[in-house]
Amino acid sequence: MIVLASASSARRALLAAAGVMVTVDPAKIDENPTKQSLRERRAHPAAIAENLAVLKALDVSTRAPGALVIGADQTLDLAGTDFDKPRDRAEARSQLQALRGRTHRLFSAVAVVRDGQTRWRHVAEARLTMREFSNAFLEDYLDRAGDSVLSSVGGYQLEGLGAQLFTAIEGDFFTILGLPLLPLLDFLRIDGDLPT
Ligand SMILES: Nc1nc2c(ncn2[C@H]2C[C@H](O)[C@@H](COP(=O)(O)OP(=O)(O)OP(=O)(O)O)O2)c(=O)[nH]1
């Protein structure tokens, strides 16, 4: 059995569309203390994402004996500043105003744990360049995107209206949506969980 230790609908949808049947059991850990202490120690955003992906998978693994548990996490870095998922429209507005006209990096980490042992982990990076959109465009975007801006770390969904925010992206689509899917599928084949 494969368990996805994530509440992310994007991650669940990516795995389902790729034909990977999973049981969803979101981790029950509070990410903030770990994130805070790693940030205080000036940990790299990739390391923060990787640590959290492992912690989420380990948490769920304790209640899923024998199961292969997938944990994931994504961090956003803009020239050394970390961003979290916006809590409301005002935060989404100020985050997007900070990101516009600049290139930011997304780090998407995935970890696979079985019976408390971390079997595999991976972090992928993507670089996204936002165009210099106007404040009027931004207000209209926030009106049309609604609460969806609160469910992703940059306040955008690339596969949706968010596409109108960007002039260029480097890195793979799946990484941007929050899950390095292709390396994960490689691991699942090697581990014998998917047909080769
Ligand atoms: N649909 C969509 N989701 C995105 C995009 N970019 C980022 N995300 C989502 C994926 C994750 O759900 C979320 C990143 O936040 P986290 O890594 O903290 O995961 P989240 O709190 O959603 O769930 P989890 O901690 O795994 O239970 O942002 C995008 O372009 N499209």
ipTM above threshold 0.85: yes
Q: Is residue 185 part of a domain?
A: yes
Neighbours of 170 (CB within 10 A): 12
Q: What is the pLDDT of residues 1-35, one digit of tens each?
A: 999 999 999 999 999 999 999 999 999 999 999 99
Measured from the CB, is residue 159 less than 6 Å from ligand 1?
A: yes
Q: Is the pTM of this model over 0.90?
A: yes
Top mutation candidate among 6, 152, 158 for ligand 1, by most atoms within 8 Å of CB: 152
Give the H or E element holding residue 163: none
Measured from the CB, is residue 8 less than 6 Å from ligand 1?
A: yes
Q: Is residue 129 part of a domain?
A: yes
Print the domain residue range for 117.
2-190
What CA–CA distances, in Å, run from 65 to 118, 180, 193?
A: 14, 25, 16
Average pLDDT (114-139) is 98
Q: Ligand 1 centroid to 85 CA: how many Å?
A: 8
Active site residue 84: no
Q: Is residue 28 part of a domain?
A: yes
Q: Is residue 195 part of a domain?
A: no
| Percent of all residues in the chain with a pLDDT value above 90, rounded to a whole number | 100
Catalytic residue among 59, 73, 82, 84: 73
Total of domains in the chain: 1
Q: What is the pLDDT of residues 60-97, one digit of tens each?
A: 999 999 999 999 999 999 999 999 999 999 999 999 99
- Domain with residue 75: its CATH number is 3.90.950.10
Q: Is residue 196 part of a domain?
A: no
Beta pairing, strands 23-24 & 81-83: unpaired
Q: According to the model, what pLDDT value does residue 52 have?
A: 98
Q: Is residue 52 part of a domain?
A: yes
Q: Ligand 1 centroid to 148 CA: how many Å?
A: 11
Q: Is residue 148 part of a domain?
A: yes
Q: Is residue 43 part of a domain?
A: yes
